[in-house]
A and B are shown apart, each in its own frame.
Chain A
């Protein structure tokens, strides 16, 4: 995409400035990644690269980057490097460095401890303002280079001259945390490397609007990459922790999967499993779907096909938005105050189903409405032209055409409620147990109202998310409680994410089919 608008017409070979700048960026990425790993303590200060201690190595890299950026920036100001700088570095750059200056001055006064935690704020603000205005007076190449060089030299200098060592400690009295050198140094290095790489990218683009684009794209792409990396790392972490306990004693022939097929028996010789919780989750999801989906779809049909757009529709829209944004724990409170006393007075599977059904409603209503709205009016007109009643049109034309959208919404909604813990914490709260709830087998007819009884529905039932919570609040006394929890988390993750994957795949399938028709 970016090639379409590139304005550099003659690009025979990279200039010296571009080469220095791109080396700076590459070095910056290396320093940044290693620093982040050091913050996460994946690598520590004991590690060494090329025989140099990790922090010294990173500081050296930062210093080289700073010098590289400085060379290109000064070269540009002297006219030795061909660039197209603007007259000022811009508010974003000046503001960023102003903030840094303010933070540095404030933290140093707080570190000296002369004025208390907030006493240094005026001095910090003053320093920030001076930096901001001062940078605004410089041309762009100097204005975005000099402060970067200052930051890079200051940080790397502090590390290289052992002003900041891993043993250094800042333990302010007004915070319950202390910052050791081994955590502070990599954080500072990462921030400085990011700043310098940004300045390097601007230099690479030759400053001006092209340079700003290069700088912004570097940061935005890095952010996206970092975000995905963190989120994937979370999933991978849970999987690596959870696979071993979840597959303990697994065999293919004869087929046996104790963790999934066993209950929680409190016996040391049997693998404790999550079967009752899986069955409970299935019942919950089925019950919630039966409660929520028909109501939501019917309401969506009424609002789009029958109702006139007026205050009534407005009220429903506010109600839907309200229901959609209501925190799940408030649903739990509502169930606790309203449903539980009316359904036998104890926490029960039925209350859980109803509360989750209420949670499912707004999401299904919104997605179903969108799907029904998206059905072209030609379909309705063609049906009406055949003399069919409005309901026949809705039943045999509109709803079938909107079905893909409705189904996708339902699957995504089900995925969401399958992992909900807070509401069932208050209205269901089933603990660890050995046998699965038997809802289908415990229907009975009675002579007194309500004439139908189902013990299993009116009792608490285990469910995967609640079971994980129970593991944390030490419902498990066994010694492998943590492994059991990771196993449960893994199974829960697989269940919920597969709902989402199926939902999204369905949507993509139907969207693609629509587009190619």
Chain B
């Protein structure tokens, strides 16, 4: 689990600090007791408390007698537990989703009409989502998540980047000093507050003025999530833009380019990695946004008819989980975990992709002195 470098680190540790017999014994107690605690906790045994007490005692003893070794080991344990927690999340979400995959198979992503993709036809489902007949197809929720995210990014992407350009390139220092922290504070408005606003006020507003046939449309959810993601995108993209070295801008200005030409052709391309990371971060937020969607959306597990109807009410993956976990068990619960798996994997792929883009661009730009 710890990888090869940390195994090499132990003898190095030994060599440097001249590990005494006492310290070695303490380390042994430490690791055995921690492992015991973890295994017993995993097995859901209350006796996990016993090795936990032993662990704490060993830590206390070590802290008094061998502080440097204990500190190093404790920090290593902390690092390992970060990996362990991600591992546990992954394992448990997948583990609980397995029954749904068994029950539905490929029909977890099945349509009511058989669809053929590249010569392979997906088996059809009779209804998309029915707890009565134990049928759970995630297609409407995936569509809902896709549409709301797209609407949110149409709002937060361009407007957010333009806002960051204003802060980083145009705004006078006085304005920037006030607006930048203000934007960061706005990013902290809890999603449930947006949800309450959307539920109480915006839902009825749109219902009256757009003559909707239903409350809680994908359009409104996308709008609210886009507004929520906006400050995050602005703040991160602004950080990326301001980190472009001033010498690059000066070079452009010395060539007689206008400020806007400099921004457009020098600063923005140079900061592109950071800016796209900001947008990807916003997309991740939008996909995972739960409360605003749960509170506003109309909760019908069907595809809109026709698909282009963004004013229909459907369901998103997150709102499905939040609204149905309460009275779910067996296959139904497992299907909710399958929705969690889809969410988790999508966002994880997005975030790792964003990190990759960033690293590659950093290497590219970092080549210059």
Please name all residues of chain A whose beta carbon is closer than 8 Å to the beta carbon of B289 when the two chains form the complex: 327
Looking at A169, A180, A316, which has the most chain B CB atoms within 10 Å of its CB?
A: A316
- The answer to the question of A508 belonging to the interface, with a C-beta cut-off of 8 Å to chain B, is yes
- Chain A proximity of B347: nearest CB distance (Å): 5
Known: A118-B308, A178-B212. 6 other contacts (CB 8 A): A224-B166, A312-B2, A391-B72, A422-B294, A492-B193, A493-B190
Q: Is the CB of A334 within 8 A of B88?
A: yes
Please name all residues of chain A whose beta carbon is closer than 8 Å to the beta carbon of B75 when the two chains form the complex: 298-299, 301-302, 306
A330–B341 alpha-carbon span in the complex (Å):
8
- Chain B proximity of A477: nearest CB distance (Å): 17
The stretch from A192-200, A253-261, A335-343, A437-445 touching chain B is: A335-343
Q: Is the CB of B44 within 8 A of A337?
A: no
Please name all residues of chain B whose beta carbon is closer than 8 Å to the beta carbon of A320 when the two chains form the complex: 82
Q: Is the CB of A337 within 8 A of B93?
A: yes
Please name all residues of chain A whose beta carbon is closer than 8 Å to the beta carbon of B162 when the two chains form the complex: 219-220, 223-224
Q: Is the CB of B165 within 8 A of A220?
A: yes
A221–B294 alpha-carbon span in the complex (Å):
34
Q: Please, how many residues of chain A have a CB less than 8 angstroms from a CB on the other chain?
A: 123
Interface string of A418-458 (1 = CB under 8 A from B): 11111001100000000000000000000011111000000
Interface string of B182-198 (1 = CB under 8 A from A): 11111111111111110
Q: Is the CB of B2 within 8 A of A177?
A: no
Cross-chain pairs A/B with CB under 8 angstroms, 29 sampled: A1-B259, A5-B259, A41-B205, A174-B306, A180-B209, A213-B258, A224-B171, A227-B159, A302-B79, A306-B72, A310-B3, A313-B5, A316-B79, A323-B82, A323-B85, A325-B351, A328-B288, A329-B321, A358-B85, A394-B71, A416-B188, A419-B192, A468-B193, A468-B195, A485-B196, A496-B190, A497-B188, A497-B189, A504-B181
A326–B287 alpha-carbon span in the complex (Å):
10
A227–B5 alpha-carbon span in the complex (Å):
48
A237–B185 alpha-carbon span in the complex (Å):
17
Interface SS, A side? helix
Residue of B68, B87, B88, B343 touching A391 (CB-CB under 8 A) = B68
Q: Is the CB of A221 within 8 A of B352?
A: no
The stretch from B46-54, B108-116, B123-131 touching chain A is: B46-54
Q: Is the CB of A306 within 8 A of B76?
A: yes
Can you name the residue of chain B whose Cβ is closest to the Cβ of A302?
B75
The stretch from A228-236, A243-251, A270-278, A373-381 touching chain B is: A228-236
Chain A, 470-517, CB within 8 A of any chain B CB: 471-472, 482, 485-486, 489, 492-493, 496-497, 499-501, 504-505, 508
A169–B209 alpha-carbon span in the complex (Å):
11
Residue of B167, B308, B336, B351 touching A117 (CB-CB under 8 A) = B308
Q: Is the CB of B166 within 8 A of A390?
A: no
- The answer to the question of B217 belonging to the interface, with a C-beta cut-off of 8 Å to chain A, is yes
- Chain A proximity of B80: nearest CB distance (Å): 9
Looking at B95, B172, B188, B322, which has the most chain A CB atoms within 10 Å of its CB?
A: B188
A213–B258 alpha-carbon span in the complex (Å):
7
- The answer to the question of B157 belonging to the interface, with a C-beta cut-off of 8 Å to chain A, is no
- The answer to the question of B78 belonging to the interface, with a C-beta cut-off of 8 Å to chain A, is yes
Can you name the residue of chain B whose Cβ is closest to the Cβ of A183?
B209
Q: Is the CB of A330 within 8 A of B344?
A: yes
Please name all residues of chain A whose beta carbon is closer than 8 Å to the beta carbon of B163 when the two chains form the complex: 223-224, 227
Q: Is the CB of B74 within 8 A of A499?
A: no
A320–B3 alpha-carbon span in the complex (Å):
16
- Chain B proximity of A357: nearest CB distance (Å): 10
Q: Is the CB of B197 within 8 A of A235?
A: no
- The answer to the question of B57 belonging to the interface, with a C-beta cut-off of 8 Å to chain A, is no
- The answer to the question of A176 belonging to the interface, with a C-beta cut-off of 8 Å to chain B, is yes
A310–B295 alpha-carbon span in the complex (Å):
45
A13–B68 alpha-carbon span in the complex (Å):
74
Q: Please, how many residues of chain B have a CB less than 8 angstroms from a CB on the other chain?
A: 118
Please name all residues of chain B whose beta carbon is closer than 8 Å to the beta carbon of A492 when the two chains form the complex: 190, 192-193
Please name all residues of chain B whose beta carbon is closer than 8 Å to the beta carbon of A332 when the two chains form the complex: 321-322
- The answer to the question of A216 belonging to the interface, with a C-beta cut-off of 8 Å to chain B, is yes
Interface string of A275-317 (1 = CB under 8 A from B): 0000000000000000000111111011100111011110111
Residue of B50, B259, B306 touching A449 (CB-CB under 8 A) = B50
Please name all residues of chain B whose beta carbon is closer than 8 Å to the beta carbon of A331 when the two chains form the complex: 89
Q: State whether A365 and B188 are in contact (beta carbons under 8 Å apart), knowing that A472-B195, A472-B196 are contacts in the complex.
A: no
Chain B, 215-230, CB within 8 A of any chain A CB: 217, 219, 227, 230
Chain B, 149-166, CB within 8 A of any chain A CB: 159, 162-163, 165-166
Q: Is the CB of A231 within 8 A of B227?
A: yes
Q: Is the CB of A449 within 8 A of B68?
A: no
Please name all residues of chain B whose beta carbon is closer than 8 Å to the beta carbon of A415 when the two chains form the complex: 188
Can you name the residue of chain B whose Cβ is closest to the Cβ of A231?
B186
Please name all residues of chain A whose beta carbon is closer than 8 Å to the beta carbon of B340 when the two chains form the complex: 329-330, 333
Q: Is the CB of A303 within 8 A of B9?
A: no
Q: Is the CB of B76 within 8 A of A231?
A: no
- Chain A proximity of B265: nearest CB distance (Å): 11
Please name all residues of chain B whose beta carbon is closer than 8 Å to the beta carbon of A303 when the two chains form the complex: 79
- The answer to the question of A82 belonging to the interface, with a C-beta cut-off of 8 Å to chain B, is no
Q: Is the CB of A449 within 8 A of B46?
A: yes
Q: Is the CB of B260 within 8 A of A217?
A: yes
A307–B7 alpha-carbon span in the complex (Å):
11
Please name all residues of chain A whose beta carbon is closer than 8 Å to the beta carbon of B322 when the two chains form the complex: 329, 332, 422, 425-426
A221–B162 alpha-carbon span in the complex (Å):
8
Q: Is the CB of B189 within 8 A of A235?
A: yes
Please name all residues of chain B whose beta carbon is closer than 8 Å to the beta carbon of A468 when the two chains form the complex: 192-193, 195-196
A4–B253 alpha-carbon span in the complex (Å):
10
Q: Is the CB of A325 within 8 A of B170?
A: no
Q: Is the CB of B68 within 8 A of A390?
A: yes
Q: Is the CB of A325 within 8 A of B258?
A: no
Q: Is the CB of A334 within 8 A of B170?
A: no
- Chain A proximity of B362: nearest CB distance (Å): 13
- The answer to the question of B290 belonging to the interface, with a C-beta cut-off of 8 Å to chain A, is yes
Please name all residues of chain A whose beta carbon is closer than 8 Å to the beta carbon of B243 when the two chains form the complex: none
Q: State whether A327 and B287 are in contact (beta carbons under 8 Å apart), knowing that A316-B83, A451-B49 are contacts in the complex.
A: yes
- The answer to the question of B350 belonging to the interface, with a C-beta cut-off of 8 Å to chain A, is yes
Q: Is the CB of B76 within 8 A of A302?
A: yes
- The answer to the question of B31 belonging to the interface, with a C-beta cut-off of 8 Å to chain A, is no
- The answer to the question of B291 belonging to the interface, with a C-beta cut-off of 8 Å to chain A, is yes
A57–B197 alpha-carbon span in the complex (Å):
32
- Chain B proximity of A516: nearest CB distance (Å): 15
Please name all residues of chain A whose beta carbon is closer than 8 Å to the beta carbon of B41 when the two chains form the complex: 342
- The answer to the question of B136 belonging to the interface, with a C-beta cut-off of 8 Å to chain A, is no
Please name all residues of chain B whose beta carbon is closer than 8 Å to the beta carbon of A210 when the two chains form the complex: 258
